[in-house]
Each structure stands twice: as structure tokens, then as C-alpha cells.
A and B are shown apart, each in its own frame.
Chain A
Amino acid sequence: MSAGGVAFWGRDGRLPGETFQVAAAENGDWLVQKNGSYEAWIGVGDTVGVEVEDGSWAAAEVTNLWWEGSEARCEVRWFYTVAEVPRQCRPPEAKGFVETDVMDEIPFEAVMGKIDVEADYLYKVGQRTLIAVDARLRRKRCEALSKKHVHQQQQPDEGATLLDACVAALQLRRAPRQLKRRERERAQIEAFVRESVKAGSGRIYISGMPGTGKTATVREVAQRCEDLDFDFVEINAMRLPRPAHAYTLLWQAVSGEVVAAEAAARALEKTYSRSCGAERMVVALVDELDWLVTKDQSVLYNLFDWPTRNARLAVIGVANTMDLPERLDAKVRSRLGCRRACFQPYTREDVLAILEDRLRGDLITCFEPKALDMAARKVSAYSGDVRRALQICATAAEYATDVVTIADINKAYKLLSDSPALNAVKHASDMERFILLALCVQLKRNSDDEHLAFSSLKDKLVAIVSHHAADKLVPPHTHLLAILNRFSDARLITLTFLHPNHRFPHISLNTHPDILAENLVSTGDPLARTLLGGPANLRGGGGGGGGVFR
């Protein structure tokens, strides 16, 4: 295929008015032929001169080339001259050109020829900031900015082992383009998006525990529906300092303007009160929806009311709570509508399939089949959170030497589940250990009262040391207070003055005495075993973990 246009080359701005021909070469570069004599291969990454509307030229970097029908088009990133950068942002030593973050699609016929450009700064037009950059990494920055560039997964280094490659493959950010085991939910959401875009409005509420793929599935559907004409905006309520900031983000998607929350709310109300609604269809993913709940629930009301006005707006609300709509006011609940999608926690088979999908090819050989199954069982039994499964397997692969076994999985699971409080008990000094034992014994004895008086603790401490560790000294008063303050700072205990007139605070454990007892006994301390008994004497229990946030 070929196209024609005006050709130009050189840096001095002259327009010779010659014509050129473009032909596509097999390697993807395009050939510019001027009157059959001038030739230049222009490929992605080349800096070119581009003719602009007023007849002058501008420097740009080519990021993509493609044909649309018979028209050759390209995506470029513009360079500014230093004079075009606002004076207050301009450092005195900058000269020549600066990179920008402004991308554009232009017809290839506007490209006049290759030029050389040197730029040591990047000007971010939207933020009006200028930063010094490494010119050698220009191409990478370009790829990052390009909307059309297909980002390749970073390949592991040549020297990396298979286990290293497993760790890399199991990273959270390496989610596949298509999530496994969410086919039904994906179809449901895709149907919603297509219907909403066609109808010009729609509301759906998606619920599910953390790590079940809700947001990832919606993003995937938005990419699959690229053939439809709509803008996709993500509003994450947990990223906003106030719920009303959601209006700012939505208005920015609708109009491109960034204004304060109240002004954005007024503008959105005005826009969506018009009979024709907004100019373009917007599909808004509102993530962590429960964080938008305010006292008057006005933000939620508006976000789900606007789509009911034929406003060219569809809202997808996502949260963890299945019955969130039922907890809202009736007027908000009715606007949320009845359309729901529920993401169930992943089952053992689901988690296993996802892990196997990540560990494709040779990578799966690094794991014993039973090890992967064990990881899947542990995660599905507890939360069904696939993030946890990936973290456990990645951690196990970090510690494994050859092949990841069940023991590695168990070790990784324990490492990621154990509370740091357990380590405080394991590594306690002599006096700290006595104090913890005294606390535990007294609190287990007075199981009705969660507060222990300082004098009781001191008496018990003296009894323990004198009976069981006669070679050790009872901690002096100030040391005892220092240790208790340290425990309080670490939130192992809480010190509370039950009455302002008390000389000493009362002490309460921030974990159940049985759990502390279990941890003390598990350290192998014979005194702990003597005072607290073996595992058979401990109530509750389960695992060696701290367990305080099971």
C-alpha cells in the first residue's frame, strides 16, 4: 500500500513543496520516497519533522504506524522547543527541545522526514512540571505513554533460575489478560456493558470478597468492548480523601476539566439534567462503593440517579458486602436497581487452575503437584483470596532450593500468617518472659476479669521467680514498669487507669490468655510448660500462629 503527501527534510524549516510516496516494508518500517530519489526509512522510535496546520513544522517521535483503510496513520509524541515551555518552569540551562507527554494521532502524510533531536528534559503539560530525564530511555518513556503500544511482559534475566522465573510469574501484577474461572461473571458484565451502551444508561452492583477478581474482570470487559463507543472511567472510593471527590473524577472523564468537588457536582447535575445527557457515553466503575456512604448518602444517590435520566452514563458499583444495597436508604436502593453480580470466593479447583495457568510451560515443574494443591486448599478453606495463594506460592519458591514441596508451602503459609506478636514472645528477654508468664497465669485464673491489678502481677512475679528461678532476681520496680511500658507501646498489653486515683494502671492482654499461653509453651520453655501445662491443658488453640486476627 502507499500514500502521498508533502515531503520535507532537514532542520532549517524550508518547504521545498516536493511530493513523496510511502510504502510499507516487511520489517514494519515505512519508506518515504521523494520524487523517486529521496529515501528515508521511518520506523517506530524515529524523530521526525511534522507539518502542522499553520505551515510550520514541529518535532515529534513516532510511536506507532498503521493503515486505516487506504490512509496511512501514525501516533506521535510531540517535542516542544524550550521557548514553548512556560518561563517559570524553564531551567536556564535547558536548550533545544524538550520531550512532552502529549500524544497525538496524525495522518502519515504530515510527516516530512527524519530529523535529529536532543532533549534532556521532559515537560508534563497537564501538570506544568519539567523534570530532567535520561535521554537514553526516551524510547521506553514513549512506549509507556503510547495508547497503542502493546506492552510486553518483562522477560526474566538470562541468569535467572526457573525458581526465579516462578517468583516473577506469580507476582500480582502479572495477571493474565483473561482471568480464569470467571467466565460466567465476565459474560454477565459484558452483557450489561453492551446493553447499557446501546440503551444509554445502566446500573449494576457487583459484590465479592477481596481477591476474587471483581475489578480485574470489569477492566477486562472494558477492554473487550473496545469496539463500542464509550469512555471508561475508574473511580476508587478508597483512593479519595472525601467521597465527594468522586464527582471530580467523573466530571474529568465527561468533560476533561479538573474542578473542585462541589463545582463538579453542579456541572454533572446540569449535564445529566439535559434531555440529551452528556456528549459521550461514559461507563464508570465505582470501586469500594461502601466507602462512598455518607450520612445523607447523597454521593451514592447521585451516582445511581444520573443513569436513570437517560444521561449516557452507566455505573458499575463494586464492593465486598453482598447486602450493601439493603443497608442503604430506600431511595438509594431503588436507584441502584436489581441487577447484581456476585463473585463467590474461589474454590480449591479454581485456585489450583489459576496457579497452574500462571506456571505455564517449564515453570510448573518447579512445584510438586501436591504442593500446589496444598496451597489451593489452605487458601480456599480460609478466604478464597487468590492474592494470598499467589503470595504463598511466590514466597515458597523464594525459599525452595530445587523443587517447591509441601513443607515449603507450609513454611510460607506460616510466615505470611504468623502475627509479629508471636515473635515478641519467642524472643522475649528473661524478665519479659517471667512477666508474661505471671500475666498469663493470673489472667487464666481470674478468667472473669480481663484486667489485672499491678500489685497482683507483682506478687505473682515474685512467687514465680522465688519458686522456680531462685538464681534470678525479681525485676526491680522501675524495670517492671519499663517492660510493661514497652509491652504497651508494642500493643501486646493495654495499660488502663480504671480510676484516676489509682497509682498504677491495670493491665489487660490484647490477645486471649490461652493464645499467649500456647505461644509461651510453644517456645519450649520448661517453666512455661510447668506453669501453664502442655497443649492438652490449653483451652482453644489451633496452630502455632499468633492468631489474633484469624
Chain B
Amino acid sequence: MCWTRREIMEVQMPIKERLVVSPVKLWRKRRRESESSSVPALFGYEAQEREVYNRLKRAAVAGESTSLILCGYSGCGKHLLLARVLERLEREKEVPDYDVVHLSGEAHADASVALREVVRQIAARTESHRLASRYVDDLKVLVDELHRRRAEESAPLLVVLSRLELFASEHRQTLLYVLLDAIQSKEGCVVVVGITSDRHVLELFEKRVRSRLHNVHVSFGHVDARAVLSFLDDRLLASEETPYAVALAESWTRVKASPEFARELEDAIAVGMPVAWHAKVATLAVAALAPRAPLLTVEGWLRAVNDNSPNRSANWIKAIAALKPARLALVLAYLRFERDDKTDYNLDLAAKELAKLRQLNASAVCFHDDVLLKAQAALISMTVLKLGKKTARADARALEPATLRYAPVRLTGAVSLEDLFTALRQGALDCPTVLRQWVLQDVVA
């Protein structure tokens, strides 16, 4: 059946928007446009959502200050869950609305910068017409804002600290102290939500800061297969019932029913892949849909899984097989060193071995020194090789020839040597027979 491009885009665009969502951008968009946009659902974390919802609702209704830490692996959905809870609270008429200030440990770990950002976000919200200019002024603006909230019995200011461990890694922890101290003061009216993947974040807190912390953690574990399937159904099944939407839903059902999909899903669950990983796979699968092939297929899904796992052995083997002859020859020379348990090798030794091979077998290709130097630099840039010593230059191509020649290197640890040998034996590396035999000689199967 054929569908028009318009029909396809009308269904695919909302799916893509649901899949690629940044909760932080979602909050800012909602504030700017003052229209309610729905935060996508999260599955498998109902208990965590309940806990966060109850705590934030109690704090908003009672005007109480508190703090909360959301802790879980990267990509498990901590920010998304918080955005969902805030959206739920906004929909409840009897609960005062939170004003949210969002700080990131990567940009705002320094207290002065953080306070300036807090003041800027507060000012933007209250249509204030001039910003403070000094740290002491910024601090006064924050204190006054908390004081005003307490006086007006509005909801506390909600300060979200992403990458909490970076704030706690600051020597003086000034921002954390200011915010957590405000929790215990009579005039303070603030809820601090820290989001981190660091399971030992509390160790980083100075004792006075930790004393002021409400040590309530909401931990995010791994989701099970059922939760992942519910998540993917929610994202991929369109709400419209157009012919294309129905066909896409059916194709998704077929993909889900396939044994290959089940195997990949089981594998991902066993490894503990976070929800964001599954979302990325779905994004890649949908993005790869072409007008001529607009339905999901098992092959397309598996390709998306593969693309989302660039470090898989199969991808490395493919990349190494696609190397130019000089580069491939060097990789095989280094593989031979690894086979012999040599750990300190370099380009000079590899070049000498390749020269010896040429002497033994005239069919082996001869590589000029310049070609090998370029190949070595390229392999380091591609991270197939790692330099065995630190250098000042970030770009391998800028290294001096002498450095390139004599600097110790190792094959990257991202690829398994056993898998490389297996690929070589099976002929997957597509290299000349003489090289293959040279590497595999004396290999114990």
C-alpha cells in the first residue's frame, strides 16, 4: 500500500518528538509558551514517581523546605521523572505551582556563576527589569525571593541541581551550603532536588553541608523487559488511526514478535542498558524509515541496535576490515605482537617485521616509510591504537615523525583480541593471505 509523504510525516513527526525529549528543554518551552505540553510517560519507576510526587506535593502544600536526591545510572530517566511529577502537580489546582530553577554541575558548579544564573532565571520569571551585579547582591536577591515566598505562602522555589556530584566536588561547596542552609531557616522556602549518577555522592559532602541535607534518596534501578516494551509501545504507537499509523503499529507488532528482537531485548536487559538506550535505538529505527520503506522491520531494528552499539565487536571488525592496506598491515603486525604477549611495540618494530615478511615472501606488499607514518597517525586518530605514553599534542597527525615511529602503542582495549583472531581465521578481515598466515602462524585454536 502507498501512503503520501505528508501522511507519513504526520505520523512520524510526533513519534520522533516523543522519542527525542530533553526534560530541561521541555520545562523551558512550557514556561515560554504557557501552554501545557505533556511530558512523555516513564515505565518501571512507578514507586519512584510516587515517592517524588508525595514529597514535592507535601512541600508545596505545606510551604515546607526539603531536599531530595535522585540517584541512578545515566539515561535511566531521572530528569524525565521529575518533569512528569512537576507537570502532574501543575495540573492540580489546590497545589501551588513550583517555580523551577535549573542548574547544571557542568556549567554552574562555581557559586558565583550559579547564583548569577539563579537570579537570572528568577528575574526572567518575575519580569524583573534589572539584574544584580555582585555576588552579595545576587545572594540578597535569592534570600529576598525565598523570604517573599514564605510571606506569600506560595510554593517553595524548586532548585534542580543536575550532576550534583560536580557541585559537591567544589572545594567550598558554597552553593550547596547556601541552599541547604535556607532549608532550615525560618524565612527559607526552597526545595533542592539533586540529580546524580554518583552512588557515593554523599561522601563528597562536607560535614556541615551533609548535616543540613535531608538525606532522602530515590534510587533508580534497572527496568525489566515489560517496562521497556511498555515504553516502546508508548513512544512508537501513534494516537492517530490513519491507515499509515495502523500499518506502522502492525509492523511494530511484527518486530516485537520476532525471536531476534526478543534475543536483543533479553541481552540488553541482562546487561542493564538504561531506558535512554532503548529510546535511542527506536529513534534510529524510525529515522531510518524511508518513503519507499516506511514500515518497521526486524532487520531495520537490528541495524538500529547495531548502530547504537558502536563498540560491538562486529562493528570493530567491520571498521578494521575497511582499513586501507597500510593501516590494516600495521594492525595485523600489532596483533601478531599481542599474540606473542609482547606489550611494548611501536611502529619501528612493526615496520621491521613487515620488512622481514617482505624478504621471506615477495608477494607481501612493501610499504614506504612515509606511508606507514601516515597510517600510524591515522590509526591513533581513529583510536584503533592508543599511545603508550602521554604527549602534549592532542592530534596524532601533529606528532613528530620520530615520536610516531618510536612511541609505544597498544591496540585499543575496546576490541577483543579473540574476536579479531576469530575474524581473521574466518576471512572476515579481507586481508592478503600472506598477512593472514603470518599472523595466525603458531596460533593455538
Interface residues, chain A, with chain B CB atoms under 8 Å away: 88-91, 101, 124, 126-132, 134, 137, 140-141, 143-145, 151, 154, 156-157, 164, 167-168, 171-175, 210-211, 236, 238-241, 245, 248-249, 252, 258, 288, 291, 320, 385, 387-388, 391, 395, 398, 415-421, 423-424, 426-432, 454, 472, 475-479, 481-483, 486, 489-492, 500-504, 510-511, 548-549
* A472 contacts across to B, CB distance below 8 A: 270
* B186 contacts across to A, CB distance below 8 A: 151, 173-175
Interface-side segment among B32-40, B174-182, B243-251, B398-406 = B174-182
Closest to A489 in B: B197
Closest to B414 in A: A481
Given the known interface contacts A172-B184, A503-B413, the answer about A429 and B222 at a Cβ–Cβ threshold of 8 Å is: yes
Given the known interface contacts A173-B65, A490-B198, the answer about A291 and B172 at a Cβ–Cβ threshold of 8 Å is: yes
Contact partner of A385 among B65, B71, B211, CB < 8 A? B211
Within the assembled complex, what's the spacing in Å between the Cα atoms of A218 and B193? 30
Within the assembled complex, what's the spacing in Å between the Cα atoms of A395 and B137? 36
* B197 contacts across to A, CB distance below 8 A: 489-490
Q: How far is the CB of A88 from chain B (nearest CB, A)?
A: 7
* B293 contacts across to A, CB distance below 8 A: none
- Inter-subunit contact B73/A503 (CB<8 Å): no
Q: How far is the CB of B214 from chain A (nearest CB, A)?
A: 6
Closest to B409 in A: A501
Given the known interface contacts A144-B147, A391-B214, the answer about A477 and B126 at a Cβ–Cβ threshold of 8 Å is: no
Given the known interface contacts A428-B272, A479-B271, the answer about A127 and B140 at a Cβ–Cβ threshold of 8 Å is: yes
What would be 13 A-B contacts, judged by CB atoms less than 8 Å apart?
A: A88-B129, A128-B130, A129-B131, A157-B62, A238-B209, A240-B174, A419-B200, A478-B313, A481-B414, A486-B272, A489-B74, A491-B200, A503-B413
Closest to A143 in B: B151
Within the assembled complex, what's the spacing in Å between the Cα atoms of A252 and B411? 63
Tell me the number of A-to-B contacts counted with CB atoms below 8 Å.
238
Given the known interface contacts A173-B184, A238-B174, the answer about A477 and B151 at a Cβ–Cβ threshold of 8 Å is: no
Question: How many chain B residues have a CB neighbour from A under 8 Å?
Answer: 93
Closest to A124 in B: B144
Beyond the given A173-B65, A239-B178, please list 5 additional residue pairs across the A-B interface where CB-CB is below 8 A: A127-B130, A141-B148, A238-B208, A241-B111, A395-B216
- Inter-subunit contact A478/B129 (CB<8 Å): no
Given the known interface contacts A141-B151, A210-B211, A320-B208, the answer about A482 and B387 at a Cβ–Cβ threshold of 8 Å is: no
Closest to B208 in A: A210
Q: How far is the CB of A252 from chain B (nearest CB, A)?
A: 8
Interface residues, chain B, with chain A CB atoms under 8 Å away: 58, 61-65, 69, 71, 73-74, 110-112, 123, 126-132, 134-137, 139-141, 144, 147-148, 150-153, 165, 172-174, 177-178, 181, 183-188, 197-203, 207-209, 211-212, 214-217, 219, 221-222, 267, 269-272, 309, 311-313, 343-344, 386-390, 408, 410-416, 418-419
Closest to B54 in A: A398
- Inter-subunit contact B219/A420 (CB<8 Å): yes
Q: How far is the CB of A9 from chain B (nearest CB, A)?
A: 30
* A164 contacts across to B, CB distance below 8 A: 62
Within the assembled complex, what's the spacing in Å between the Cα atoms of A151 and B151? 9
* A549 contacts across to B, CB distance below 8 A: 200, 202-203
Within the assembled complex, what's the spacing in Å between the Cα atoms of A151 and B187? 10
* B343 contacts across to A, CB distance below 8 A: 501-502
* B418 contacts across to A, CB distance below 8 A: 477
